[in-house]
Amino acid sequence: MNADRHHIVDSAEHIAPGLWEELAPAATEKERIAGEGFSYGQDVWRRFTRNKMALMGLWIIILLVLSAVFVPFFWTHNYHYQELTYANVPPLLPLYDLGNDQFVFLNKNFKLYQVARSGKLLGLIKPKQRLVAEKQILYELNGRKYRMDYTQLPVRLLDENANEITTGSRVWNKTYFLGTDALGRDLFIRQIYGARISLLVALIATVVNFVIGVLYGGISGYLGGTVDNVMMRIVEIINTIPLTLYVILIMVLLESGFTSIVLAIGTVFWVDMARIVRGQILTLKEQEFVYAAKTMGAGTRRILFRHLLPNTMGPIIVTLAMLIPGAIFIEAFMSFIGLGVAPPMASWGTLCSDALGTFRSFPYQLFIPALAISITMFAFNFLVDGLRDALDPRLRK
C-alpha cells in the first residue's frame, strides 16, 4: 500500500501545471439560487430606490425643505413688503414693441409698465390725461403719444394714429418670478414662506404623533383589559369632535395665529397613530420572543421599549409619512377659512383665500398656491407608497 502511495506521489510530480484547469460548474450549481447578503436597512433602501415615483417624491420634498430654509436669506424681497405700483403683475408678460428697443406691458388693471427686453420691470408709466367719458387714458413716451382704450375688453393700446398695437413676444417676469398679489407683494417669496409654515406644522405634528401616539397606543395595547378599554374610549371621544371645533375653541383662548393651529393639530392628530400602534402591539405581545423576555425577568418597560416598539417601526414610519400631508392640508384649509395663521404671515391657505377676490382677472394668484399644495400632496403620497412597499417583508424578492 505504501508502494502505491509513493507511485501516486511520483506521478503527481510529473503532471504538467497546464493540465490543472478549473472544472465547469455542475448543472446543479447553475440552478443554485444565491445572492449577496443585505442587512434589513440595506434591503429596505435597495427596494425603495427601485421605486422611481417614490424617489421623485423624496427629491421634491428635499427641494421643498431646502428652499423653505435657505431661499429667504438671499431673496431680494420680503414676504410682507408691499409695492402697490406693481400690484397684480403676472409672471408672464406679453410685450408691446414700440420700436427703438422700447417695450411696454399693459396690465388688466389699466396700468402701463415699461419693460426691458429681458422681462425686467423698469417702472410704471404715468398717464398724461384720463378721458373718463371716452374710456381712454393718454400716455406720452419718448415724444410719442399713445392711448389705452378700455371701451371694451380686453384693453387695447393705440398709437397716435389710433392704430392698434399688437403684442409680440411673451417674456418671463424677471423682477417678480411668480408675479405679485393685489398689494404688490412678491408671490414667489410668499410661496416659500407658505411652505415654511406648512412644513413646520407638519414637523410639529409628526413629533407629537410619534411621542404621544406611540406611547399611548403601546401602553394601551400591551396592558390590555380594562386599561385598554378606557384608553380606547378616550381616543374615540377625541376623534368624534371635529377638528374645526377644536381650532375655534383654542382661538377663543389664544386668538388666531400659528400657535392656535399647532395646538389644535397637536392635541388631536395623534389618535390614528395610537390606534395603529395598539393593533401592532396586540399582535406582537403574544409572540415567543416576548414570552422569552418575560422568562428572563424583563419588566414591562423593557419589553415595551426594547422588544415591542422597535418591531413596529415599519408601520410607524409609514403612518408618520401618511399623516404629514394630512397636517399640511388641514393647516392650509384652516388658514383658507380664516382660522389659521394671521396676516401678514404667508401660508398656502391664506394665499388661496387672498386670490379669490381677483380670480377672474388674475387666476395665477390662486393656481400657484393650489399647485404647490397639490405637488406636495403627491410627493408625500409617492413617498408613502414607496416606504410601505419597502418596509413590507411580504414584498421581498
Instruction: Supply the pLDDT for residue 130.
Output: 86
Q: What is the C-alpha separation between 249 and 245, in angstroms, rounded? A: 6
Residue 319 makes CB contacts below 8 A (sequence gap 6+) with: 209, 272, 273, 276
Phi/psi-derived region of residue 338, left when phi > 0, alpha when psi is between -120 and 50, beta in every other case: left
Q: Tell me which H or E stretch contains 106.
A: strand 102-106
pLDDT digits (tens), the chain, 397 positions: 555 555 555 555 555 666 666 656 655 555 555 556 667 677 778 888 888 998 999 999 999 999 999 998 888 888 888 888 999 999 999 888 888 888 888 888 888 899 988 889 988 888 888 888 888 888 888 878 888 888 887 888 888 777 888 877 889 999 998 999 989 999 999 999 989 988 888 888 788 888 888 999 999 998 888 998 999 999 888 888 887 777 778 777 777 677 777 887 877 888 888 899 999 898 888 888 888 888 888 888 888 888 888 888 888 888 888 888 888 888 888 888 887 777 778 889 889 988 988 888 899 999 999 999 999 999 998 998 888 888 766 555 5
pLDDT one-digit tens code per residue, 244-264: 777 778 777 777 677 777 887
User: Considering only CA atoms, which of 262, 120, 106 is closest in space to residue 177?
Assistant: 120
**Cβ contact 116:220 at 8 Å:** no
**What three-state secondary structure class fits 99?**
strand
Distances (CA, A) of 316 to 209, 310, 321: 10, 10, 9
Residue 48 makes CB contacts below 8 A (sequence gap 6+) with: 54, 55, 386, 387, 389, 390
Q: What is the C-alpha separation between 145 and 165, in angstroms, rounded? A: 12
Q: How far is CA 116 from the centre of its chain?
A: 35
> Across the strands, what pairs with 92?
172
Entry pTM: 0.79
Instruction: Supply the pLDDT for residue 7.
Output: 53
Indicate the domain borders of the chain.
92-172, 187-395
187-395 CATH choice from 3.20.20.70, 1.10.3720.10, 3.40.50.300, 3.40.50.10420 = 1.10.3720.10
Work out whether strand 129-131 and strand 167-172 pair parallel, antiparallel, or are unpaired.
unpaired
